[in-house]
Amino acid sequence: MDAPARPVLSVRDLNVTFGSRFGPVRAVRDVGFDIAPGEVFAIIGESGSGKSSLAMALMGLLPRSAKIAGTMQLAGMDLMSLSAAQRRRICGERVALISQDALASLNPCTTVGYQIAEMLMVHRGVGRRAAMEEAVRLLALTGVPLPHERVNHYPHQFSGGMRQRALIAMSLALQPDLVIADEPTTALDATIKAQILQLLIRLRAELGMSVLIITHDMGVVARMADRMLVMYAGQEVETGTVEDVFAHPAHPYTTALLEAVPRLDAVDRKLHAIPGAPPSPSALPPGCPFHPRCPIAIPRCAAEVPRPVPVGASLAACLRAPHDG
Ligand SMILES: Nc1ncnc2c1ncn2[C@@H]1O[C@H](COP(=O)(O)OP(=O)(O)OP(=O)(O)O)[C@@H](O)[C@H]1O
Ligand SMILES: [Mg+2]
């Protein structure tokens, strides 16, 4: 039997803490996961659950005041042993970040084509003419119509969906091992959103890259991902294949998230809102952070912080798991 391929990304016990006027904000607490080559891995959680802090820690893009602890390996290379500047350089070449705001990520004063070409000129020493030709090819690959003309347009001449395509084209220029897409479709309408997700799925299949998709949308996870990690208040609550987690959620928070999603195949089904609100990361309740909102909490849940343990085929951080709902 073949040995399993080395993960593209391996994260263990990752902690990100920001300083604030109200004391330390533990935005990410003891999170760990692996992403295999060619895999689409989703991180899902409510606003403020620490998803972007995690992505920024990987890319070396957190403010200097943020404290990072734990281990992060990119294709076996220990990122924590590098300075933030080294990490930014290596991640800039091997990991691409697609953010939710394409307009803010593109330079308004330079043509879209030149911005893509510049990646190749700066990082790969490619000549200007060859780099512009590659920019046209990348715009075509990402479904931008008339790429020969579009390559000379400025970002404001692109629609929102086209800008997101241009950003994806730019992110592919250096053939990254991993693409991190942080809420890549939040600012787009439903049709364009579907097209961008379709594009990412197609590119993954054609180029064999791994994708880390960050979202608060269970629909995106169901359509795109192979495996998923559910975050709550900076903590990992459940990890597993999308199939297993959707069919047999092991953590009551995951169950609650799934019950809050409308389903076309069950229009009569009642939607359940999760009572209460997520805690502030600077004032977490003791024990399990979800226990004040959990329908099956017992007194022990307020005293012990649960660690992820195998439940069925997944990992779940719940003292009550396995539970029967
Ligand atoms: N630079 C910072 N300084 C202090 N606190 C921060 C900073 N960045 C994020 N935080 C705090 O860390 C927590 C996690 O934020 P983060 O942006 O990672 O969440 P998120 O899951 O990406 O949310 P969203 O879905 O809204 O994008 C929040 O409480 C946020 O206020
Ligand atoms: Mg975010």
Query: CB–CB of 254/237 below 8 Å?
Result: yes
Ligand nearest, relative to CA of residue 49: 1
Cβ–Cβ < 8 Å for 42, 231: no
Mean pLDDT score of the chain:
88
Position 284 in a domain: yes
Domain contains 203: no
- The 10s digit of each residue's pLDDT in 22-44 is 888 999 999 999 999 999 999 99
Least confident residue range of 5-14, 158-167, 223-232: 158-167
Unique residue bearing structure tokens 């192979």: 226
101 pLDDT band, cuts 50/70/90, is confident
Window from 79-83, 127-131, 171-175, 186-190 with minimum mean pLDDT: 186-190
17 lines ligand 1 (CB under 6 A): no
Q: What is the CA radius of gyration of the chain?
A: 21
Q: Which atom of ligand 1 is nearest to the CA of 54?
A: 18
Q: How confident is the model at residue 325 (pLDDT cuts 50, 70, 90)?
A: very low
For the chain, how many structural domains are there in total? 1
Within a domain: 81: no
The ligand that comes nearest to the alpha carbon of residue 51 is 1
**Is residue 76 scored above 70 in pLDDT?**
yes
* Residue 36: count of CB within 10 angstroms of its CB: 16
Query: E strands of the chain, at which residues?
Result: 9-18, 25-35, 40-44, 67-74, 77-78, 95-98, 178-182, 210-215, 227-232, 235-241, 309-311, 314-316
Centre of ligand 2 to C-alpha 48, Å, is: 7
**Is position 207 within any domain?**
no
* Residue 6: pLDDT over 80: yes
Cβ of 100 less than 6 Å from ligand 1 = no
Model pTM?
0.90
pLDDT at res. 271: 63
The answer as to whether 101 is a domain residue is: no
Q: Is 293 within a domain? A: yes
Q: Is residue 201 part of a domain?
A: no
Q: Tell me which residue range forms the domain holding 240.
A: 226-325
154 lines ligand 1 (CB under 6 A): no
In a domain, 308, yes or no: yes
Determine the 3-state secondary structure of 179 from DSSP. strand
**More confident: 161 or 99:** 161
Is residue 277 pLDDT above 90, yes or no? no
Nearest CA to ligand 1 atom 16: 50
Output the CA angle 171-172-174, nearest 5 degrees.
95
Residue 122 CB neighbour total at 10 angstroms: 12
